Structure 1
Amino acid sequence: MTLRPFLPALLLSAGLTLLMLPLQTDIDLSNTALLYVLLVVVIGSRYGRGPAIAAALASALLYAHVFVPPLFSLAITELQYLLAAGVMLVVALLVGHLTASLKAHAEQVQAREAQARALYDLARHLTAAQTPAEVEGITRHFLETVLQAREVRIVPQSAFAEPPAPLTPALLQAVLAARHPLLSAGAGPDRSLVLVPLLAAAGRGYLLACEIPGAAAGAGATRELLETASSVVLVALERTYFAEVARETEMRRSTESLRNSILSALSHDLRTPLTVMVGLADTLGLGKASPERQKSMLAALRNEALSINQLVTNLLDMARLRSGGIELNEAWQPIEEVIGATLQQVRSHWKDREVTLDIPAGLPPLRFDAVLVERVLWNLLENAIKYSPADTPVELVVRRVGEWLDVMVCDWGPGLPAEGGEELFGMFRRGQAESSIPGVGLGLAIARGIAEAHGGQVLAENRLGGGACFRLRLPIGNPPALEELEEAT
């Protein structure tokens, strides 16, 4: 116990005596006693029980010595004065004790309120934690703020065999076996190592370890705070554990679904053209077909090879998009050139299919990767040709809409489903689940992925009168002047 708080109590008692000494004859003894009692109340509310008792004793002695006749003597001869001094002492002691008790209770209430606010903040911050490392960081900040803790760490059960110093495997096992917090010697004489077990379901366990001041280590309030905080921390750790399990389960499910979809696509859409190619090659190898028949068979063989090439290209493109390994080779260039190159490929593949073109003059250049945008247009045109009657044209229309340039591919096919049109942009999604039309359902997904990599969009809508329109929307940006573009090329 320090003597520092007692010195102000004694000095204040002496000071009050000196202030009242000139008024000794003008103030009644009862009023003087009340002033001393008031002083004891002030000291008790400010410094606590011990200084209040000291002030009460000192005030009683000063009151009896200075103000009770005979003055400046403790030899009190009259019973009433002796009784007054005794009553004053008892009242001062009682009031000082009650005042100090109220002060201690108020401090406890304030401390519990501060702890409750801190626990609320801890629980609120832990709800946003996504990983055990984040939970440990939030817990460390809480204990450092509330208990002046140091070396805060959460040790999972998987690390119990080789825990960080000063923890030992035997100490950790003892804490888990005891199932309640334990104290151990800390790094310094005034520090205590606190070990709190965090026991989860299914045999999982953690250990919360920290060093706190030795004076607070044995307090009941500290133990209660640690137990409450540890339960909140354990809930957060369990939540992050099950969230990680759910993510891994979803990843495995998605991977399995993707694997099955790829295997299904390969088994159907690659095996069929390969079988046709083998049959055509065997027939050509016999050498019995006429020249016209051979020419027709070679053309069919080429078309099947192109179909397989397209399927493999789509699979590779989607793999690049999914892995994030796609790199844009962007340059300012007119969209008309890419459209022209794409139409040449389309007409070489579908010679008898009509594709109409509507491109206004004066379109600004765009910044894009020509090879990838050509892939988008090819997939949109291929989709329109496959899913529309052979005797209807496919329309390609280019329009400027505000700060965007829209390239629309429209057909006169069955159109989009009334519900779930957006699902067509998913991987391995087709307008008709069972169809004789070749394809693995990746074209639209690839088109949207490439467009979004350019900061654009691919949208789908039904057109008036029947059919569907797929819109490639690219940002115009701030194209350079024509002279600058010619110099760059």
Structure 2
Amino acid sequence: MTRALAAAAALTLAVVTTLIVQAGGDPASALRHVYLLPVVALALAFGGLGGALSAGATLVLYASVVLPAIERSGLTPETIEGLVTFALVAGVGALGGTLTTRARRQRARYETILAVQRALAGVTLLEAALRSVRAVLIDRLGAADVGLVVRDGEREVAAAAERVVAGSVADRVLTGGAAVFVPDTGDGSRPRRVFATPLVVAGQPIGVLAVERVGELGGEERAAVEALGAHVAVALENARLTSRARRFADELERQVANATRHLEELDRAKSVFVAVASHELRTPLTALQGFSEILAARSLAPEEVRRMAGIMGAEAARLGRIVSDLLDLSRLERGLAPTLHRTPVAVEAALAATANLFRRGAVDTLVVDCASALPPVDADPDALERILANLVSNAVKYSPPDSEVRLCARRAGAMVEIEVLDRGAGIPDEARERIFEPYYRAPDVGAVRGTGLGLAVVKALVDAHGGTIRVESAVGAGTRVTFSLPAVS
């Protein structure tokens, strides 16, 4: 169709010129206005090049009419009209071609923006959005390559690259905030030109658009790329915000799922705890009730009375520890720290008292090993007693009969470290991460009794003193629990 239009225009120019010559060669002939038709048609069809060529051809043909008339008659009103027609044809060709070229570039720009929007539709990841936009721009701009970089918080996301190289064109634009033009990168026989422009949204640079082309990349094209960059910046900013919102939504969904799972586990643990605690409370109460009834109903030998009184005292102490743990747990769940009455406490005496409490005749199973010249600790005596009682109770319960349990203490800077070491079954890795959670009991504890509160209370009491606690354990090799308390200077 374009060839037919060009042929029709050429034929029109030739026919008009022939008719003017046959009519006497009058430069002011009304037929001269017909010259504008092919010039306008070719300018609209082919842009600036078409307008310039058609105007040039028209001027050459019309000159064969105007110039002879000027030679014959000089500057007459007729020849002056011919010269005005010269100027008019040239102006129409140039202006029409220029406007057509600009309109086409504007249309191409809008089509590119629309293609970018379509490429981003449904894309939720920023990296995928950059790849899609890059592919669209390479195709639409006829570029050898296109680079895109977008800042997302502290990171920089680049299309077709892992990172922005220091000193590169993109890095210079990101650092300086101004467009950069490289006339030739020197990578081939033909010049490879690079133009990089910042992507700006609300006055803030968010990234870089770089276009590389083999051949010309003129000022108008660079201006068009810069204008296109403003639209691409908005589109990529929307994609970045969408990607971030998606990540936040996914993270929130994971956190909600984890919280829900944790609450379900906690609910199950509480249900198990209610059953276990009921049993743990009932056992010492049953012993106290049974022995008190025996003492009330029978006359027993003093030795038997003392034996029963010892059992009743131990069960009462056990009952007291359970009640204290429950009270402390209630305070912890309300966000309250344990109440402490701190005073200097001799560590070796505290360890020896706890060991005596659990020996019950098995003297050799509990060993106290304290470093010499050990300073007292700044602690609540009752709290320290409960910490040691809980840890030693666990060590004894989960160790084979007659196996050694060691209670050690040593100076560690401004702290005193106390450790309870047993040779029991040990704690699996997956359970060791949760042993300080309230109500949690490690699986496969067998028939060993417990409420799952002791270690949670121990950690709370150690934290309240400003100390730390850690557990080292291996299945089949025993467990070492080490906690620290501030030493009295």
TM-score (norm 2): 0.50
Give the TM-score normalised by structure 1: 0.50
